[in-house]
Chain A
Amino acid sequence: MPKHDVAIVGIGQTKFRSKRRDVNIPEMIYEAVKMALDDAQLEPKDIDALIIGNMDHFEGINFSELMCGIEAAPGYLKPIVKVATGGTTGSSLAICGYHNVASGIYDNVLVIGWEKLNEGGATTGIITAFDPVWERPSLAGALGPLALMAGMYSAKYGITAEQAAKVTVKNRSNAANNPFAHLQMPNITIDYVMSSQMISYPLRLHDVCPQSEGACALIYANEEETKKITDNPAWFHAVETAHYYTFGTDDKMYDLPTATFASKKAYKKAGIKNPVKDLDVAEIYEPTSWSELSWTEALGFCKPGEGGKLLDEGITLMSGEFPVNPSGGVLSTNPIGATALVRVAEAAIQVMGRGEKRQVPDVEKALAMGFGGSLWTEILILGKEPMR
Chain B
Amino acid sequence: MSQEIEKKVFRGRIKVPYKHTAGAYVEKFITEIGKNNKIFGVKCPKCKKVYVPPKMICFECFEKMEEWVEIGNQGIVKGFTVITHSTPVMPLEPPFAYGIIRLDGADTDFVHIIKESDPEKLKIGMKVKAVFKEKPRKRILDIEYFEPIQ
Assembly CA distance A133 to B17 (angstroms): 24
Partner of B21, one of A20, A71, A121, A133: A20
In the complex the two chains form, is B55's CB within 8 Å of A128's CB?
no
Chain A min CB distance to B13 (Å): 11
Surface stretch bound by A, among B56-64, B108-116, B122-130, B140-148? B56-64
A119: CB under 8 A from chain B?
yes
Which of B10, B12, B21, B55 sits near A23, CB closer than 8 Å?
Answer: B21
| Chain A min CB distance to B46 (Å) | 11
Given contacts A27-B56, A44-B62, A76-B62, contact A120 B16 (CB under 8 A): yes
Chain A residues touching B, range: 20 to 34
- Answer whether residue A70 sits at the interface, using C-beta atoms and an 8 A cutoff: yes
Is A74's beta carbon under 8 Å from chain B?
A: yes
Residues in chain A near residue B59, CB distance under 8 A: 70-71, 76
Most buried by B among A24, A74, A76, A121: A24
A to B contact number (C-beta, < 8 Å): 66
Q: A26, A59, A128: which contacts B18 (Cβ < 8 A)?
A: A59
- Distance between Cα atoms of A34 and B62 in the complex (Å): 10
A24 contacts B26, C-beta separation under 8 Å: yes
Given contacts A26-B56, A27-B56, A71-B59, contact A118 B19 (CB under 8 A): yes
When chains A and B are docked, how far (Å) is the Cα of A291 from the Cα of B23? Answer: 36
Residue of B16, B21, B23, B55 with most partner-chain A CB within 10 A:
B21
Contacts of B14 in A (CB 8 A): 124, 128
Q: Does A21 contact B (CB under 8 A)?
A: yes
A386 to B22, CA, bound (A): 44
Write out the residue numbers on chain A whose beta carbons fall within 8 Å of the beta carbon of B24: 22-23, 27
Assuming A20-B21, A24-B26, A27-B24, is B16 touching A121 (CB within 8 A)? yes
Q: How far is the CA of A22 from the CA of B28 in the complex (A)?
A: 12
CB distance from B109 to the nearest CB of A (A): 16
Fill in one digit per residue for A158-200: 1 if any B CB lies within 8 Å of its CB, else 0: 0000000000000000000000000000000000000000000
- B147 CB to closest chain A CB (Å) equals 30
Q: Which residues of B contact A21 (CB under 8 A)?
A: 21
The one of B20, B55, B56, B60 in contact with A119, judged by C-beta atoms closer than 8 angstroms, is B20
Alpha-carbon distance A30/B59, docked complex (angstroms) = 12
Assess the A133–B10 pair: CB atoms within 8 A: yes
B62 to chain A: which residues have CB within 8 Å?
A: 44-45, 74, 76
Q: Complex: how many Å from CA A30 to CA B26?
A: 16
Residues of B within 8 Å of A128, CB to CB, are 14
Give complex CA distance A118, B23 in Å.
Answer: 14
Are A71 and B20 neighbours in the complex by a CB distance under 8 Å?
Answer: no
Chain B residues within an 8 Å CB radius of A24:
20-23, 25-26
Determine the distance from Cα of A34 to Cα of B22 in the docked complex, in whole angstroms: 21
| A264 contacts partner chain B, Cβ-Cβ < 8 Å | no
Nearest CB of A to B57, in Å: 6
Query: Given the complex, which residues of B lie within 8 Å of A361, measured CB to CB?
Result: none
Q: Are A121 and B17 interface neighbours, CB within 8 A?
A: yes
Further contacts, 4 of them, CB under 8 A, given A21-B21, A76-B60: A23-B23, A30-B56, A60-B16, A71-B56
Interface residues of B (CB under 8 A from A): 10, 12, 14, 16-26, 55-57, 59-60, 62, 64
User: Chain A residues in contact with chain B, CB under 8 A?
Assistant: 20-27, 30, 34, 44-45, 57, 59-60, 70-72, 74, 76, 116, 118-121, 124, 128, 132-133, 136
A-B contact pairs, 26 of them (CB 8 A): A20-B21, A22-B23, A23-B24, A24-B22, A24-B23, A24-B26, A25-B21, A26-B57, A27-B23, A27-B24, A27-B25, A44-B62, A59-B20, A71-B56, A72-B57, A76-B60, A116-B21, A119-B18, A119-B19, A120-B17, A120-B19, A121-B16, A124-B16, A128-B14, A132-B10, A133-B10
